[in-house]
Structure formats: C-alpha cells, structure tokens
Structure 1
C-alpha cells in the first residue's frame, strides 16, 4: 500500500504456514529465499489438549479484560475455535510477548506443548498486568493528591494576597535570622537556630513540618535570653513588706531576712533554694509573693501537685504532636525575665509512674552547681537557671525524696494561735473581704469576741483559709441586707453568729468535772493542728486478754504493748497484783473510732491509764500528756509540740506533761500559750505517775541519782522528776 503524501510503501503479509529457510539470495533488489514447509506434528485428540485449549482461552479472556486494548471480536473468534494450533497461534499474535518468546512458540511443532508454553506465558503476563495496574492506581492517586494540594495552595496564596495576610516568606526568614543574630547567645546556639530557619525555608508552605519548625523558632525567641530585672536587696524594705503582709511568723521572717542578707553580701555565690513547709493555709505561697515584691523580681508560680510525667518538667520532644516546653522553661517565658522568683508549689505532691520521675528531673534545676546549663527537651538549648530564685512549698517533708530535700533549706511554718488568727483576721482578712464585697467599716462591724467565736466554733485548722471563708459568708449576708435595704449597718457580736453562719460546726472540748479512774487526756497532732485525745482504760475479770479499739494503727498498738510490758515489770513497785495479766482483761479504747489514729506519742498516756485502772487511783482531770515510752520506762521526744499545746489550751487544760528532750522546743511556743499553761518535763514514766495520780512512786537507787521537783515561774514550766539513765 502506498502512503498518500510520501513515497513510502506499507507491506501487509499474512502468515500461512511454518517453514525453514533452506537458501537465501541477497543479489537481487529484494530478498529471495527457498523455504521448506514445516507442518505441525499430528496428534490424537486428548483430554489434556482440550483442557490446555480451554485454559488458554480463559487466560486470554482475562488478559484482554485486564489490558483493555483487545477488540471483543478477537476474543469471540478464539473462544469459538476448537483447533489447538489455531488457538495457540492466534492468541500469541494478539498479546505482548518478547521476540524470543514468540520465536520459541513458532519453533514448537507440537500443538500440545505449544499450548502449555503459551499458558505459562499468559499467566506471567497477567501477573505483570496486575502489578502494573496497582502501580498505575497509586501513581494516579498520588498525582491527583499532589495536583489537588498544589491547586489549594495556589488558591490560598491568592486569598492571602487579597486579604494582605500572606506576607513575603523570604522576608519572614530574614526576620528570623535578624532576631537570632541580635540575641547574645553562644555561636553554637545561633548556628542551630539559623539551621532551623534554613530547614523552614525548604519546606512547602503550610506543611506540617513547617508548622513544627515555626512553633519551635517562635518559642525559642520568646525566651527572655538577655532580659533581667534589677534586683533590690534592701533588708529594711524587705522587713517592712513582710511585716505588712503577714502577722506573726517572726522566726520565719528572721530566717528569710538572713537568707536575703547572704545574697546581698555574696551575690556570686550559688543561690540556695528555700522550702517553706507548713500546714495548709499558713501563708507559704503569700510569703513567696512578698519576697518577690521585696526583691523586685518577677513572680512565676509552677503548680506541681499531681504531676507524674517527667516531660512536665523537662518538656516534650518537639517532634511529638502537641509538644511544648516544660513548666520551668514556660515559667521563665511567662515571667519575661531570666531572674524571676519561681514558686514551685506543692512539691511534696509530686508522683512517679512509667513516664518517669518528675522529682528526679528537678534535681538538675534546683542544684546551684549545675543548673546554669539546664536543657529543656523541647528547646534543645541550654538555659541558665543560676539567677532564678527558687522557693518551694510543701505541707510535709516526709514525701519529698531525700536527694531533692538535701538541695533545699527548710523553713517550717507552724500553726497559728487563736490570738494570731484574731490579729490576721482583723488586719488582713476583714479589710480584704469588705473591699471585695463593696462594704466599708461603717456597714459591717465585727467585735473581737465574735471573731474568736468564729475561730473556736466554726473553724478547726492550722491556717486561716476556712476562717476567711466564714468571714466572707458574713460579708455576703451583710451585702445582701444592705442591697435589699433591710439595714444600713450590721454589727456582729458574740452569740449572734448562728443566724449568719448556721449551727456551730465544732463544739468545745468537754471539760471533765472530776478526776476519773482510767481516763487520761493525751495530745495528738493532725494535719489541721493539735487535738486532745481521751484514752479510756477498763479492767475486768478475765484471762489476761488485751483489747485495743478505736481504729488504731500498728505503731500505736505497739506503744500500748510496750507500756503494758513496762507495767508488768514494775507491778510490785506500782502496787499492782503481779498476776494481773493472768486474771484480768484490759480494754484500751480511743473514742471517735471512725477517725484513724496512729503514732508513738500516746505511749505514756496509755501507760498512765492502765496504771490508774489497775490501782483504782483517779487521774487528774486538768492534766494532758504526750510522749513515747520504752520498755524500761524512758520517755522519748515527740513532734508537733506547738500544735499540741495550743489544743490543750483550747480544751481548758492547765498542765501539760512533755518529754524532757522537748524542753528546748518550748522556746518555739507562743508566749501567750506558755504563760497560760504549766509544763512538766520528765524523762521517765515514774515522774509522770507521781504527777498524774497524785502519789509517790518508789524509785530504786540504780534508776536515779536525784529526784527533785523545782518550780520555774517564768514561762510557767515545772521541771518534773528527772530520772537518770
């Protein structure tokens, strides 16, 4: 066929039969060859041949469907043929095969073998078509997604350009570089930040990675690297601020002034860490705020209560979704200064779990020898914390890990006395609540006796937090009445609190009218202050059983056993039947059984109660005691003496027995409490039995060198019998 428009000729040939070239001539204008025909070998029809033929037709139908470029007429032509040689040659002609594979099929003269070879080739081509199809689908999806993303980004650029929000990205990168260069940072740190800017410039606009890098750079640049407030260490000003903000706490204030004086004289020395320890509501956080005002430092507060994850302190890796700096780095950013006063609140409430131990992460931050190089996981840049003034607060030191406790200087805040609470309410709480509720001094008048009644009947705490709530409730009642026009002035006096605050929540401790056998008053320490704890002992006929009730802990039960063992060893001297442990049952009971009780300081109280019950001698009703007992009758020191003595005074007790080793602690007790109480110090149970039972205990020569009783008027202390060891 001649092609129109050019001289080329297309030759169409049809295959008729196979043949082998015998001779070929190249001398003529075209090729001539002598061919010897090669007919197919004759084969008898068989089931195998028929099966191969069907298999080839089926595979070809699948191939045509998968390829999509074979006309249906060809498929129908093959499916209707039953000649294996025809099927094989026709299928091979219409599928893609390599020339070598087609040559191999042409050279095979046995139709059955040719069909088998064709089936293998068809199966392979079908598998290849399947792989190609999957690849094509993935490629098409990726191209479609990329095209859609590109289209949306172009639309976003146009929209931002119209709104004037897009900005010029090159200018953004230059702005980052300019701000980084302006910072006084080590060259290594600057190089790291510049490298992040370069990474950002290579990211697609709006990609997830670019958002992470941009957030990281913004956070790093928010850190006040070169900013510090000028610290003022005027001790007179600090004393004035502390006195104006807090009543009492003289020893605490003195300790803080000493700490500030050291910082004034040796500013280059490694700064210590103050730890304010005390019951709730005693002013720990407010004292830290006053120190910040006195030193002209920015204040930032970090609440550590309930923190269990180390990443809360050190920060998260920036690769995580929602990553952010740790609380220390965030506090510095919030304060906007590299030398803030940072309050780590409730450091005793830290926890630990599978995510790490936050207290261990704080070791580096609070150590003045190494916190100049504190590394936050999010920032990945060292932060100098040596200029940060750390103050921690806690309710108790028992739950603070020892390594962390060693890095802090402990300042203990004890409970307020009732007189201190009265002055705090009068000087601080009432003016604050009047202002908060829109009242003035003429609208609301509260007498001192009314405030004392609020303290004794409506609060039971170490601090003044609940007292503030009760006074706020009175202010609300007053504001409601004034606003409604019911009255212009509300005067609150003693005995008129019930209409304002309801029924009293606490009743005064009962005063015993007479001395009783087996009833002793002990002193206990609780989280809200001191308590007077009655101990009741009864002795009945029995077989030596000892019962202890009242929800007692293991330590208190062991103290009771130690006391009874001591009494058995001294039974004859105490005038007790030596066989009381065989024919008597002893029942020791602590009232208010729903309240858990534990601790060793009730040892001497139990001992006196058991001796009283066994001897039938009453115990003085005006006396309370506290102390740990040993098997030899020695009295060991206890804690919480200030709170316990305040509870004794509140209960109307006039005499308190304490261990001799606690005598120096009397200086820590408020002067008003010391004047109102008589203190007896003793280091052996026999001395206490003399006082509590109004009888003389025979003291053997090997137990004591002297036994004298001396009255000391100043402070109201009575030195009891000193039993030598």
Structure 2
C-alpha cells in the first residue's frame, strides 16, 4: 500500500500503541499485539484496506490511552501480514511509510463489536534544508559512526554502506537513530525534530558521547585487567616463595614471629636477671634454627610464648597479702597441697622480710 492512495490529509486512521519498539517510516517490523483495542484496530485496517497510525506512550503513562498520555507524532504505515498466535496475541508485519501527527481528539470506535481508537492524522512533510551544510553534517556523522563501529559491535556493517549510497538526509537520520542505544524518550525527541540540521547535530553529539563512553570503559577494563594480572602474578610469586621457604625450613611469617620474640626479649631485659636473659636468648636461637614442623620446635615455641606473657616490669601499687595468694591457689589448682603450702610459705617470709 502506498501513500498515493491517501492524497488527502488529515484523514481518520485507527491507532495502535507500541511501547516495546520505536518505529521509523522506513522500517518493516514484526509487532506483537495483546490488547483488544490494538488487535481490533489492526483487524479493521486489514478489512478496510486502511492505513494505520503507530505511536508510543509517554514515560509513566504506559497503561493510559488518551491523547495526553500518547506521543502525538508517530508513524503512518500499513499491515503486510497478520497471524494469530497460540497464546492469544496477534502478530502483524508493519511497514512504516511516513511521519504523521495526531491533530484531533482520540475517538473510541465501535463497529459490530470491533472496538478501537482512531483520530485525525496529518502527514508531516520534510522541511527544506541547506544542502551544503546538511551534506557537511552527514560527512561528520558518517565519520563518527565509523569510529563507533570499530569499538562497538552493535553497528550493522551495511548501515555505513547504506548511508554512503543515500542522498536523503531525513532517511539517514532515521536509519542512524534506529541503531543507536538510546531511550524511547530520547528517540522520540530526535524523531519529532523537523529541522534536519538540528537532528543530525543531536545524533552526532550522541555518537561522540558513545565513543567517549566506550573509550573510558575500555580504559577501565584495561586497568582492571592489568591489576588482576599483577595481583595474580604477585600471588603466584608469594606462593612460590612460601614453598621455597618451606623446603629451606623457614618462612616469612615465622621469621616475623622470631623477630617479634627478640624485640620482646630486649624489652624485658632490664627487668630480668642475666642468667634468665641468657637462657631465654639461648632457647630463642635454638627455635630459629629448628625446622618449624619438628616436635622440639613446638615445645620451645610454647615456652617462649609463656615467658613473654609474664608481666616482667609491670608493677602494681596494690600490696599482695598471703591470704590472697592462698585463695587464688585454692581457686585455680585442685589438690597439690604441699606445693601450694611451699608457695604460701614463700610469700609469708617475703611479707615478714618487708616489714
């Protein structure tokens, strides 16, 4: 069906609302209809050999069908085929033919239980333009689109060829807009713009933004990849060093612990006797030379931990009473009467000596 059959516009056409796909005049697209109003509108158009007006709802008005909730500019087209699906939906093959606009209130049509919406639709003609400036803009658009196609794989290869072979700027703008990843609202704002120079500049800005976004994304991925590689490299090197140290009978964690023991020994040195310092230092040297998995190594490690947990040099102003010593010994140690008596005697003599 051609628009030449409808030389007089505006004319009343049935309306179908499609929110899942933004359509353009050049497109031939399968559309799935589930709402009764849309199915009846398609059935009426086929039965009467009528054109159809396809539009979308505004954001936030997906469940409304009045004029205020719809984008008034859409696509005039025809139905090439209609198929009833097993799930109750209807699939139509819609061919876009021209840009159109709703110019009257939307009417609810009821013809023998066929219920659909219709409105007066006017054909939107392309505005004249300055060829020199528009061709220059198309050149920039084509150049930027080629740059984008090299870093994003969603740009069809045949699109660039079609653009180079087409001398219709409005069609070029629609073709490019149809492949860009833009929202329904942004697509509509570009589509409704009648000044072709402005439309082309909007598309160029979007493509430049896409190129920059892709460049930054690639840079981030590269940095992340490099960081992961470096982390993996460091991890494997550390594991190798750990295995080598195990073979040599040492590891960095154990070396750090030995160094910590030596520091603690120096801290308590002023508060212990020379013989005590000499003995602890001797055991620490033995521990450093031993294989970490040997039994003696574990025993000496326990001994060193016990030594450094003793409160050397940590004095308290609280006086120690023999009765306190006896109570603590009875609470903490069952039986062992004679050893506990010897300890109590020691503190008793000490207390008497201090007096």
TM-score tier by shorter-chain length is 0.3 to 0.5
Q: TM-score, normalised by structure 2?
A: 0.42
The higher-RCO structure (CA 8 Å, 6+ apart) is: 2
Q: TM-score, normalised by structure 1?
A: 0.22
Larger helix proportion of the pair: 2
